[in-house]
Structure 1
Amino acid sequence: MVHSLLQAVVTYVSLLWFVRVIDAMPDPAQRQLLMRQEASRQTGGRVTLTPAEQRIDAYLHQLKEQEMRAAPFPPAVHFFKAKHLIEKSSIFKLLQKMPKGAALHIHKSTLVSVDWLVTNATYRPNCYICFTWDNSVRFFFSDRQPFPRWDCFYWQLLETLRAKIGDPTGFDKSLMQHLTLFTEDPEGEYPNQDIVWEKFEKAFIAAAGLITHTPVLRDYFYRGLEELQHDNIMYLELRSGLSKTYELDGTIHDKAWTLNIFQEVIKKFKADHPDFLGARIIISVNRALGVSEVKDAVKEAIQLQKNFPDVVAGFDMVGREDSGRTLWYFREALSLPADLGVTLPYFFHAGETDDEGTDVDQNILDALLFNTTRIGHGYALAHHPLAKEISRKRNVAVELCPISNQVLKLVSDLRNHPAAVLMSEGHPLVISSDDPSMFGTTGLSYDFYEAFVGIGGLKTNLGTLKELAANSIKYSSLPAHLKETGLALWQKQWDAFISSNQ
């Protein structure tokens, strides 16, 4: 009712505007009214700020004006070159303190910083390394010399190799380069999407041997939650393929075992940190698979969700969208839950492409046809007016990952990100970081900065930040009663944040 009335007012004022343009200068009062009405539509535009929040908002506006006049302007520069500039920003430092709610789009293999992976995991006993023909690395823990596997015919004990090299710091830095995309020359090293995606996928494979070792996995999950909480995040939804885990003697554990570990780690972390709301997993498979393989994965996900209802949130398809198979290609597999009369929530990656009009570009519509709960990335959504309308009416939020979109070469200057249109229209949005360790980040503060300062521009304000943070709980997969608990807990943290920054 209120929305309809607002639309009627805007329409009426717009008509008055055009009538007056014919015979006189427009009334400044009408102009002001139009500007207020337009501002009310943007993300956070209808959030009422308290006097204390208004003071912080005025301070943020002043800071943003200063940064937008600066050269270089960080969101207009590749993140790898802008990172040190962002870290000096007063806005960024404030965002680090801000309670950001939930991280709803992070992949398991990139949850934890590469510094920890190298300086902790690779220093453990019985860690072997192999250098492959394509200039990549593989890791494997074993109580004996590993057999040839994964294109590796010669495995070396890392402890012995470090001793031979004699420069552990330099060697560790070289290992980190295999686990991240971060470089001082991103344009030179990654001239196109094919090259950056090739390095991206190699880094995932390199990390796998470390992360899937059972003792490392336990500590890895816990460390990931620590890094999130350190950035004032209280809840996580993690994309994971649930790779089988292995022991030192070669024993292999199934996916249920991995979920048990995840459940145990969450329980321990919540006991150690009572203000942490929890974490859930979105089971994911690569879109390079065949239909029968995805059908088996969907069946398995249905069973795992039944066995672990508090942990398994749903299902997704991951991997490079432009070179992978479309959602429609997998329609037989993805229709399986409905055919069986069961519910398996979907959280599809869709629209992570700038190839407008291709079959892949239709993933946005197909994700909605399969009733996706959220849309991962949704970069192309602004080019699909019907999909945008449907997703808005259904409250299907877009998981916006600005740094990922820039590093993977969908956009260079974040002021030109299509999400600027979504933000100006108040489309349901949440901010996330996709693959933080790949980009040299942790938590969400860097992505919040890019969205707030770059994509949102000068018109976004504290209300925008407040709504985006609250959205992350609102659009999570948590049941209604836990959403209420989470929003109450987040509001308490938000109030404390406002109070401490007066």
Structure 2
Amino acid sequence: MARPAQDEAQIAADAFQNGLKEAQSVSPPYADDRERLFHQESAFSWDQAAKNNASDIEVRAEKIVWKIREDERENHFGNKASEAIPGPETRDMGGQFLTNKDRIEDSKLWKIAQAMPKGGHLHLHFNAEIPPEILVEKARDVENMFIRSTTPILSEQDVADTEVVFSVMPTDTMEVDLFSPDYNPEFRKPGSTPWMRWSVFRPIFQENFGQDAEGWVINKMVLSPEEAYGIRQTTNGVWARFNQGTRCFKGLLNYGTIYRWYIGAAIDSMIKDKVMYAELRPMLLDKFIPTEDGQGKLFHADQMRILVEEVHKKQEQLKEAGELDKFPFGFKIIYCSPRSIPKEMMKKELQDCIKLKLEFPDLICGFDLVGAEDRPNHIGFYAEELQAFVKACEKLNISIPFMFHAGETLLDSGGSRTTENSNLYDAVLLNAKRIGHGYSLVKHPHLVQEFKKKNICIELCPTSNELLHLCRNIKEHVYPQLLALGIPCTVNSDNPSLFRGDCRSSSSVSHEFYQVMVGSPTMNLHGWKQLALWSLEYSCLGDREKAEAERIWRREFEAFCKWVVETYGKYADGLDL
């Protein structure tokens, strides 16, 4: 006969009460076990070394930064207890970068990120440091700057859809009308003339379409929130849009006078961003850029000499002002080639890299293969050529380590049908010093161990990964997992000029440090410190330079911590956290 329901309820209640008494009598208590487990895990934390040698002022500054972050996080809806839909001015901590950017720059945590000494910037494409607004303004004064289009520009639809490219050309270049139905965009065939003078183009464009040509071109180069996050946007679509932007950008930078100016401007931008050293990635498939008159050619060696001269000039200015420690080691260059070229062409690229290294031994520091990884070819396609490159370097007693883009993908198949062609395998087999992005490494538990064994560093580029659709926002990024797995990482901005939206100033690495701080509650000031120290440790500086860089950085970091305490200490003390 079934028991009454009330009897079962009483049995359950009595059993629970007995269980509660036993739980309360257990020694040690559950809370002690939990705390012990937490501390056991914390002992293996990736930032433990930074914590262990933290000064008193750093410990105080870390608590202040934590309180400010948590206060801004708690108030990011504008009201701690509100479930109301946030307004357009509301800061979304760790939300979409472009949507949130102008709100980020009104926060205390952002001002702290700007002041933080960053160390080295190890993943920066050469043409993407200075905002395009400035380059477009510079192009106004270049009489022989020309533009071409992929289609005649006849309608508003053409204005929206066409891709444009710039180039400095000889003054006597035959000019055509991009606004004519007869315009032929062909440029590869001998005798093709698809070019229109930029100074002539601008007023006609304004008259025909009622908008400023310079603003239109800037929008062609920079990803907008709609283009990055639009509901119908795809991964292939945003990559195609990004590649269009880089092609448009290229001609505005690659000519004699602006190339020389750009180097000093890039250094000024980095100093403002608290970056003390950088390794630049120029695409060197084009073997020359034109001189400012469009007649001459500046080959790779000419470009490298200009870079050395302009860095030296800037450092002399800093030295005279007693500020050389702001940028004491200049630049180094990572030679980049696209992974889409035929093998014979890759052989020539690798030989050109060696040739430049022999001529500029202190400047050329690495070799990289670049391009979207969901398209051919994977790195292993060039295995024979890359191994020959290694052997040639050994015979010549030179060092050109690989710094591959690898794992910048969700498919992780190297542009093939199988994940066996993941570029991460090649990064291990070819003994890469660092890799760019490494987003998909967490899918490979064995490769994680190989990365740790070989001490391969990952150049994190969080905003780039978001805008190119590897994740929707920084809170979905894998960097906390990579760090927790014990992989050394650095923080970088990749292509900041194309990824920052409308912006006339550069704080690109500051944005990245801000993002990693708000993207994970496990990040803290000690973590910032470790990331900056790794940027020096895994750089291509020599041992003496690394030691000097760390000495300068630690001095600046201590001063930064004092500034945090002096500026925000009383404010943090007043927060109810």
TM-score in same-fold range (> 0.5): yes
CA contact (8 A) 1:145 1:155 kept: no
Offset at residue 323 of structure 1 (A): 0.8
1:227 maps to 2:269? yes
1:264 maps to 2:294? no
Offset at residue 169 of structure 1 (A): 8.3
Residue pairs, 1:450-469, within 5 angstroms: 450-454=515-519, 457-469=520-532
Residue pairs, 1:83-232, within 5 angstroms: 83-133=101-151, 135-147=162-174, 150=187, 153-164=193-204, 170-184=212-226, 186-188=228-230, 191-232=233-274
Offset at residue 159 of structure 1 (A): 2.5
Q: Secondary structure at the match of 1:444?
A: helix
> Residue 12 of structure 1 aligns with which residue?
none
Which amino acid in structure 2 is aligned with residue 280 of structure 1?
K
Residues matched between the structures, number: 481
Q: Secondary structure at the match of 1:160?
A: helix
Give the gaps of 5 or more residues in structure 1: 1-19
1:255 pairs, out of 300, 306, 321, with 300
Offset at residue 26 of structure 1 (A): 4.8
CA contact (8 A) 1:321 1:360 kept: no
> Residue 425 of structure 2 aligns with which residue?
365
Which amino acid in structure 1 is aligned with residue 340 of structure 2?
A
1:448 maps to 2:451? no
> Residue 57 of structure 2 aligns with which residue?
52
Q: Which moved more, 1:262-271 or 1:310-319?
A: 262-271
> Residue 407 of structure 1 aligns with which residue?
467
* Partner Cα distance (1:40, 1:404) in 2: 32
Offset at residue 143 of structure 1 (A): 4.3
Question: For residues 120 and 190 of structure 1, do their structure 2 counterparts lie closer, same or farther at Cα, with a shift above 3 Å needed?
Answer: farther
Offset at residue 497 of structure 1 (A): 1.4
* Partner Cα distance (2:247, 2:342) in 1: 20
1:31 maps to 2:34? yes
Task: List per-residue Cα deviations over 1:51-87 (Å, max 9, x = no partner).
Answer: 2112221111112212333246645432211111211
Give the gaps of 5 or more residues in structure 2: 1-22, 78-89, 152-160, 175-184, 319-323, 567-577
Task: List per-residue Cα deviations over 1:308-358 (Å, max 9, x = no partner).
Answer: 111101100001111131111110111012333344211011001111464
> Residue 10 of structure 2 aligns with which residue?
none
Question: For residues 150 and 50 of structure 1, do their structure 2 counterparts lie closer, same or farther at Cα, with a shift above 3 Å needed?
Answer: farther
Offset at residue 124 of structure 1 (A): 2.9
Question: For residues 183 and 123 of structure 1, do their structure 2 counterparts lie closer, same or farther at Cα, with a shift above 3 Å needed?
Answer: farther
* Partner Cα distance (1:169, 1:261) in 2: 37
* Partner Cα distance (1:174, 1:80) in 2: 19
Question: For residues 204 and 190 of structure 1, do their structure 2 counterparts lie closer, same or farther at Cα, with a shift above 3 Å needed?
Answer: farther
Offset at residue 122 of structure 1 (A): 4.0
Q: Give TM-score, length-normalised by structure 1.
A: 0.89
Task: List per-residue Cα deviations over 1:370-413 (Å, max 9, x = no partner).
Answer: 01010110001111112111212222110000000000001003
1:289 pairs, out of 333, 338, 341, with 341
Q: Give TM-score, length-normalised by structure 2.
A: 0.78
* Partner Cα distance (1:149, 1:359) in 2: 38
* Partner Cα distance (1:106, 1:282) in 2: 10
Larger Rg: 2
Q: Which moved more, 1:250-259 or 1:308-317?
A: 250-259
* Partner Cα distance (1:332, 1:122) in 2: 47
* Partner Cα distance (2:94, 2:556) in 1: 32
Q: Which moved more, 1:416-425 or 1:197-206?
A: 416-425
Task: List per-residue Cα deviations over 1:80-110 (Å, max 9, x = no partner).
Answer: 1111121122111101011101110011121
Task: List per-residue Cα deviations over 1:19-49 (Å, max 9, x = no partner).
Answer: x99x766553343232123223333233232
- Alignment RMSD: 2.5
**Identical residues among aligned pairs (%):** 28
CA contact (8 A) 1:361 1:380 kept: no
> Residue 446 of structure 2 aligns with which residue?
386
Question: For residues 265 and 381 of structure 1, do their structure 2 counterparts lie closer, same or farther at Cα, with a shift above 3 Å needed?
Answer: same
* Partner Cα distance (2:483, 2:419) in 1: 26
> Residue 423 of structure 1 aligns with which residue?
483
Residue pairs, 1:298-317, within 5 angstroms: 298-317=350-369
CA contact (8 A) 1:87 1:93 kept: yes
